[in-house]
Amino acid sequence: MGKKKNDAKETYREIDIIDLKVAFGKFYALKGVSFFANKKEFLGVIGASGAGKTTVLRILTGQIRPTAGKAFVGGYDVTKKGNLISLLVGYVPQLEHLSLYYDFSALQNAQLFGRLYGLRPKEIEERSRNVLEILGFDEDLMTKTVSRLSGGERKRVSICLGMIHDPKMLLLDEPTTGLDAHLRHETLNYLKELNYRLGTTMVIISHDLEIVDYCTRVVLLEDGEVSQFGTPQELISSLPGKGESIKVILHAMTPEIRHRVASLPGVQYTAQAGRNAVKLFIDNPEDNLLPVIQQLNEMKMPFEGVEIVEADFFDYFQVKPWKDNEIGGTAK
Ligand SMILES: Nc1ncnc2c1ncn2[C@@H]1O[C@H](COP(=O)(O)OP(=O)(O)OP(=O)(O)O)[C@@H](O)[C@H]1O
Ligand SMILES: [Mg+2]
Q: Answer yes or no: are the C-beta atoms of 106 and 146 closer than 8 Å.
A: yes
Partners of residue 161 on adjacent β-strands: none
- pLDDT by residue (tens digit) across 85-95? 989 999 998 87
**Quick one: 166 exposed, middle or buried, by C-beta within 10 A (0-12, 13-18, 19+)?**
middle
Q: Which residues are in the CB-under-5-Å shell of ion ligand 2?
A: 54
**Where do the structural domains in the chain lie, given as residue ranges?**
5-230, 239-327
The CATH number that domain 239-327 falls under is 3.30.70.980
DSSP state of 105: B
CA distance 155 to 93: 10
Give the CATH number of domain 5-230.
Answer: 3.40.50.300
Among the atoms of ligand 1, which is closest to the Cα of residue 56?
A: 18
Q: State in Å: Cα 54 to ligand 1 middle.
A: 7
Q: What is the mean pLDDT of the chain?
A: 90
Minimal-distance CA residue to ligand 1 atom 17: 54
pLDDT of res. 314: 83
Neighbours of 70 (CB within 10 A): 17
Q: Which residues of the chain have pLDDT under 70?
A: 1-11, 96-97, 320-332
Burial of 116 (0-12, 13-18, 19+ CB in 10 A): exposed
pLDDT at 313: 84
pLDDT digits (tens, 9 = 90+) for 31-40: 999 999 999 9
